[in-house]
Amino acid sequence: MSPLIVLAAGSLRPALTPLLARYRTVAGQQVTVEFGPAGLLSRRIEAGEHCDLFASANTGHPARLREKGLALEVRPFARNRLCLTVKRGPRTDGADWLALLSDPRLVIGTSTPGCDPSGDYAWQLFDTAGALLHTGAAPLKQRARPLVGGADTAPIPAGELAAGWIIRRGLADIFIGYAHYAPRLEQDPTLRVVVIPDCHNVFATYALALRSAPARALADFILSAPGQFFLRQAGFLSPCAPLS
């Protein structure tokens, strides 16, 4: 049996690493996986690179692959949301998410829109924040620095989380990223994770693009109770959970 090749959004590493290890045991199927920004992975598939399953941090990339005849099926399998991570200090301690984003003295870091869905979601959050602040999104987008997830951005060292690494290096004061990283980020006493209320947050739906018949069994496992257990353990939400 040939190994299944999986390309997956980098944010899925904490969930898919143990999930795929379990699948190898129960199914007797070897799986190789490569993690990276979903937008860049999708471009590689469109350019002709083979994979059996593509796990994206949005639904748009898998849907486009299917429209182009490059995917057999698209299945949503998880949800996520955003949070802010900030460097602790007099300007940030006690401030809520909107006050932090509106402070022009604070540098905002994001992932790269178009290359990484996390960056696209950050830009959507700017639209919401700009409306609440009555300033529009333009000032926020002009202050934002796409620091990771792009074709030419610096790679994050192994074992590091983008938000912590960027803030500790002084590249940004705030980083907008996925909320499932919050428990790990909160272990650093120099960092503060700031919740964005659900009513203003951006919810990300993750989707699978099945590109070969053998990938169906793996997709079924990801959507099964055992597979969803690993996703919940890593902080992801169910694909059918109500969005409050």
Q: Which residue has the tokens 């402070």?
A: 103
- The answer to whether 45 touches 70, Cβ cutoff 8 Å, is yes
Q: Helix-strand-coil percent breakdown of the chain, rounded to 5?
A: 40, 25, 35
Question: What per-residue string of b and e applies to 49-78 under the rule 16 or more CB within 10 Å gives b?
Answer: eebbbbbbbbbbbbebbbeeebbeebbebb
- Any bridge partners for residue 175, and if so which? 85, 109
- Kindly indicate the confidence band of residue 184, based on its pLDDT and cuts at 50, 70 and 90: very high
Q: Which residue has the tokens 């992975």?
A: 41
Helices (H) and strands (E) in the chain, counts: 10, 9
- Kindly indicate the confidence band of residue 243, based on its pLDDT and cuts at 50, 70 and 90: low
Residue 242, domain member (yes or no): no
pTM score of the predicted model: 0.95
* Pair (173, 229) in one structural domain: no
* Pair (88, 75) in one structural domain: no
* Pair (66, 92) in one structural domain: no
* Pair (24, 130) in one structural domain: no
pLDDT value for 103: 96
pLDDT value for 240: 78
- Residue 58: which CATH number? 3.40.190.10
* Pair (45, 128) in one structural domain: no
Residue 172, domain member (yes or no): yes
Residue 241, domain member (yes or no): no
* Pair (115, 152) in one structural domain: yes
Cα 234 to Cα 244: distance, rounded to the nearest angstrom: 20
Cα 105 to Cα 50: distance, rounded to the nearest angstrom: 45
Residue 135, domain member (yes or no): yes
pLDDT value for 241: 60
Cα 127 to Cα 104: distance, rounded to the nearest angstrom: 16
Q: pLDDT tens-digit profile of 46-60?
A: 999 999 999 999 999
Cα 176 to Cα 166: distance, rounded to the nearest angstrom: 11
* Pair (53, 93) in one structural domain: no
Please give the residue range of the domain that contains residue 178.
81-195
- Please give the single-letter amino acid code of residue 90: P
* Mean pLDDT, residues 103-121: 97
- Closest of 92, 88, 50, 98 to residue 70, by C-alpha: 50
Residue 240, domain member (yes or no): no
- Any bridge partners for residue 83, and if so which? 177, 195
Cα 37 to Cα 59: distance, rounded to the nearest angstrom: 14
Residue 239, domain member (yes or no): no
Length of the chain, in residues: 244
Residue 238, domain member (yes or no): no
* Pair (127, 186) in one structural domain: yes
| Alpha-helix runs per DSSP H in 48-207 | 60-67, 97-102, 117-133, 138-143, 162-168, 182-185
Cα 82 to Cα 180: distance, rounded to the nearest angstrom: 8
* Mean pLDDT, residues 117-142: 97
- Closest of 208, 154, 192 to residue 12, by C-alpha: 208
* Pair (119, 177) in one structural domain: yes
* Pair (159, 105) in one structural domain: yes
* Pair (47, 140) in one structural domain: no
Total domains in the chain come to 2
Residue 244, domain member (yes or no): no
Q: pLDDT tens-digit profile of 19-43?
A: 999 999 999 999 999 999 999 999 9
* Pair (143, 71) in one structural domain: no
pLDDT value for 20: 98
